[in-house]
Copies of this chain bind each other. A is one copy, B any other.
Amino acid sequence: MEKSKPTKSGGLAGIVAGQTSICTVGKEGVGLTYRGYSIEDLAEQSTFEEVAYLLLRGSLPKQHELSDYKKRLQNMQELPEAMCQILEKIPAEAHPMDVLRTGCSALGSLEPENDTRTQLDVADRLMASFASMLVYWHHFHSKGERIHTVSGEDTLAGHFLHLLHGKKPDEATRRVMDVSLILYAEHEFNASTFAARVIISTLPDFYSAITGAIGALRGPLHGGANEAAMELIEQFPDPDAAEQGIMDMLARKAKIMGFGHRVYRDRDPRSDVIQNCARTLAEQHSDRVLYPVAERIDQVMRREKNLFTNLDFYSAIAYRFCGIPTPMFTPLFVIARTSGWAAHVMEQREDNRLIRPTADYIGPEERPYVPLDQRS
């Protein structure tokens, strides 16, 4: 077997690992489309349920299809009793991403994929129930309360906010959450999606791929970035302190999260959208600190490093104004990205080939075995 040369930069950067009809990203340095529709159009005119339908079924739903789909997802919110019991055993101090990773895996044994439970059933069930898992675990450990995981809300954004806060969300907040889910839904062969495709390429069950993807999303070089951005922003009391702080961090070459992107050269098209959302909620909340601090950090990074904000940066602020605790930021990313992961899993299955690269060996030459009693 002939080996190709390793790419100079490593990490398979710029290596085409397969074909997809789901998403373009970074075309001419900026573009993002889901099945041909621009992210700007989708974020402005569409809803998350329409986008999930588009990603999973290939076309935008008609009115009656959308109504049916929203009902279907709504009927999939409730958790089985065994799931609740498992969630109660996951400690209060656990990372919420571990809760979803374990919950996803456990659901795979409680409700396995089979001849009557298809891959689309599993995909929709996971999307609809992740919020229920997360918030059930949260309330059980923070308040000792076993919540009912049916909210009566017919959108995933509304369902999550309603369960978390115990009441119907206001429409502006719900819509920001909805837009955020649209923006986070899909992004081509990012690390978690690629992990899902590698896993499903051995032809295991659907849950195995999503469980692995959650693990990949957990890292600060991927989904964890929005939490890191929040921690950065909220440490400064005002914009001037932020400017000083960022200059100090740059001087000591500290890593500043929420900027730049492996695939985008010039800007992240999702960032403008979520910045507008964050600004709207900041005004609604009469905020005088968080948004101005974020904006100043943005300006300093542009001026000093010519770096642009990516989706994670202003998402952090938007989520804060939605009343979301920081450790739930990446789990929200899971809820959204499950739509994209699921679309890629189905696409990989349609024309599967085992994903198995090779390695460049740099270890010891072949050497004779030394028996235990002769080792020194």
- A→B interface (CB under 8 Å): 1-7, 9-24, 26, 31, 33, 35-38, 41-42, 45-46, 50, 60-63, 66, 82, 85-86, 89-91, 94-95, 97-99, 101-102, 105-106, 108-110, 112, 188-192, 194-195, 198-205, 207-209, 211-224, 262-263, 265, 353-373, 375-376
Contacts and interface: CB of A to CB of B under 8 A. Distances in A.
Contacts of A192: 202
B21 A3 contact: no
Nearest to A80: B89
A365 B21 CA distance: 10
A60 B370 contact: yes
A55 to B, nearest CB: 11
Contact of A362 (B9, B21, B102, B365): B21
A38 B368 CA distance: 8
A216 B198 contact: yes
Contact of A15 (B22, B90, B190, B358): B358
B82 A106 contact: no
A369 B1 contact: no
Contact of A11 (B212, B353, B370): B353
Contact of A102 (B33, B109, B188): B109
Interface centre among A99, A207, A358 (most CB of B within 10 A): A358
Given A16-B358, A219-B204, A95 B66 contact: no
